[in-house]
Amino acid sequence: MTSDLIMAPKDRIYCALDSVNVDDVVSLATRLKGHVGGIKLGLEFYCANGAEGYKHVAATGMPIFLDLKFHDIPNTVAGAIRAVAPLGPKILTIHTQGGPEMMRRASETAAEQAEKYGLTKPLIAGVTILTSLDHADMLSIGVQDRVSDQVKRLATLAHGNGLDGMVCSPMEITIARQATDNEFQLVVPGIRPMGSAKGDQKRVMTPAEAVEAGANILVIGRPITQAKDPVAAAKAIAASLVSD
Ligand SMILES: O=c1ccn([C@@H]2O[C@H](COP(=O)(O)O)[C@@H](O)[C@H]2O)c(=O)[nH]1
């Protein structure tokens, strides 16, 4: 049993709005309100628009997952978290491959800053192995283990070093859950409804399969944003999720 059994299916969906255009992102966030649980802003949007752009999207009232995947030495990651914490994101990402001390510092800094600003502490999720990589890609950078074994190792490390959750592909949900506990939030990109183009994603499942396997949050971008009718696409995905 996971910790979020009362969550409505649509609230599991965070739509990735990967664009540099603030007006387009605000407009789509507004249209998706009530149909998804939140909006994910990532490197493309934030590098182009920074905190000011973020505030325009936050003004829609949608919860925001700020996916900047911090990966640096502990002191620098702590500084980056101090810089974005006042924005009040609901979820922030760091790379688990930054190691145990970096993860601990990230978590502690997020808690300190939330207290300082009177905000709810963001969920700090550790990225494990990007969903665009497969075993051959990992071999090419010198990682011999199977992807699932490496994700399991990083899940154990993230869980033991203060993170609230992790980012993994749907294919590792079961192993990640076994390596952690039911409170640990599994944030899952690599989601493709039946018939959707995979694009650059290599480890994918359908939304319903991912929820069935135990995903807490589904990160879905292009299957919604590139649909002819993004709201209809989001509604169809939500309807496809087995109700808890
Ligand atoms: O391993 C990861 C980590 C993050 N992402 C992000 O999720 C979305 C997925 O978008 P799609 O259009 O549904 O492929 C995107 O913003 C990535 O930066 C990921 O895909 N994999």
Centroid of ligand 1 to alpha carbon of 193 (angstroms):
14
State yes or no: is 69 an active-site residue.
yes
Q: Is residue 200 part of a domain?
A: yes
- Please list the rounded mean pLDDT of every run of 10 residues in the chain (244 residues): 68 98 98 98 98 98 98 98 98 98 98 98 98 98 97 98 98 98 98 97 98 98 98 98 66
Q: Whose CA is nearest to atom 20 of ligand 1?
A: 189
Q: Is residue 4 part of a domain?
A: no
Q: What is the ipTM of this complex?
A: 0.99
In short, whether 148's Cβ falls inside 6 Å of ligand 1 is: no
Instruction: Report d(CA 200, CA 183) in Å as an integer.
Output: 30
pLDDT score recorded for residue 136: 98
pLDDT score recorded for residue 6: 59
Number of domains, the chain: 1
Q: Whose CA is nearest to atom 2 of ligand 1?
A: 130
In short, whether 110's Cβ falls inside 6 Å of ligand 1 is: no
State yes or no: is 137 an active-site residue.
no
Q: Is residue 5 part of a domain?
A: no
Q: Is residue 6 part of a domain?
A: no
Q: Is residue 40 part of a domain?
A: yes
Which residue in 1, 15, 19 sits closest to 217, CA to CA? 15
DSSP-assigned beta bridge partners for residue 219:
14
Helix axes 100-117, 74-84, angle to 10 degrees: 30
Cβ–Cβ < 8 Å for 124, 107: yes
**In CATH, what number is assigned to the domain containing residue 109?**
3.20.20.70
Q: Where are the alpha helices (DSSP H) in the chain?
A: 22-32, 43-58, 74-84, 100-117, 135-140, 147-160, 173-179, 207-213, 222-225, 230-240
Q: Is residue 1 part of a domain?
A: no
Can you give the residue range of the structural domain that contains 109?
Answer: 11-240
State yes or no: is 145 an active-site residue.
no
Which residue in 232, 222, 229 sits closest to 197, CA to CA? 222
Cβ–Cβ < 8 Å for 210, 188: yes
Q: Is residue 3 part of a domain?
A: no
Catalytic residue (one of 67, 90, 164, 202): 67
pLDDT score recorded for residue 7: 79
pLDDT score recorded for residue 1: 42
DSSP string, 61-98: T--EEEEEEE-S-HHHHHHHHHHHGGG--SEEEEEGGG
Which residue in 188, 227, 196, 225 sits closest to 29, CA to CA? 225
Q: Is residue 232 part of a domain?
A: yes
